[in-house]
Amino acid sequence: MRRIGVFTSGGDAPGMNAAIRAVVRQAYALGIEVIGIRRGYAGMILGEMVPLGVRDVANILQRGGTILLTARSQDFLTPEGRAKAAKKLLEAGIEGLVAIGGDGTFRGAMRLIEEHRIPVVGVPGTIDNDLYGTDYTIGFDTAVNTALEAIDRIRDTAASHERVFFIEVMGRNAGFIALDVGLAGGAEVIAVPEEPVDPEAIAEGLLESQRRGKTSSIVVVAEGAYPGGAAGLLAAIQEHVAVEARVTVLGHIQRGGSPTAKDRILASRLGAAAVEALAAGTSGVMVGEVEGEVELTPLKEAVERRKDINRSLLSLSRVLAL
Closest CA to 69 of 32, 107, 101, 111: 101
44 is in an annotated binding site: no
CA separation for the pair 79, 32 (Å, rounded): 30
128 annotated active-site: yes
282 is in an annotated binding site: no
Backbone angles phi, psi at 169, to 5 degrees: -115, 165
23 is in an annotated binding site: yes
186 is in an annotated binding site: yes
Catalytic residue among 128, 130, 141, 263, which? 128
CA distances in angstroms from 195 to 177, 255, 284, 314, listed in the order given: 14, 25, 32, 10
73 is in an annotated binding site: yes
Q: Using an 8 Å Cβ cutoff, are 106 and 299 in contact? A: yes
**Helices (DSSP H) in 47-119: which residue ranges?**
79-91, 103-116
107 is in an annotated binding site: no
Interhelix angle 140-161/176-184, nearest 10 degrees: 50
Q: Residue 294: which H helix or E strand, with range?
A: strand 293-298
Residue 56 DSSP one-character state? G
CA separation for the pair 16, 21 (Å, rounded): 9
254 is in an annotated binding site: yes
216 is in an annotated binding site: yes
117 is in an annotated binding site: no
- CB proximity list for 184: less than 8 A, separation 6 or greater: 144, 148
25 is in an annotated binding site: yes
74 is in an annotated binding site: no
110 is in an annotated binding site: no
82 is in an annotated binding site: no
220 is in an annotated binding site: no
CA distances in angstroms from 200 to 18, 158, 171, 189, 239, listed in the order given: 45, 22, 23, 13, 8
CA separation for the pair 244, 241 (Å, rounded): 10
Q: Using an 8 Å Cβ cutoff, are 140 and 127 in contact? A: yes
305 is in an annotated binding site: no
55 is in an annotated binding site: no
Strands 245-249 vs 164-169: parallel, antiparallel or unpaired: parallel
CA separation for the pair 314, 144 (Å, rounded): 16
User: Which residues does the annotation mark as catalytic?
Assistant: 128
Binding residues for Mg(2+): 103
Binding residues for ADP: 21-25, 155, 186-188, 212, 214-216
Binding residues: 11, 21-25, 72-73, 102-105, 126-128, 155, 163, 170-172, 186-188, 212, 214-216, 223, 246, 252-255
Binding residues for substrate: 126-128, 163, 170-172, 223, 246, 252-255
Binding residues for ATP: 11, 72-73, 102-105
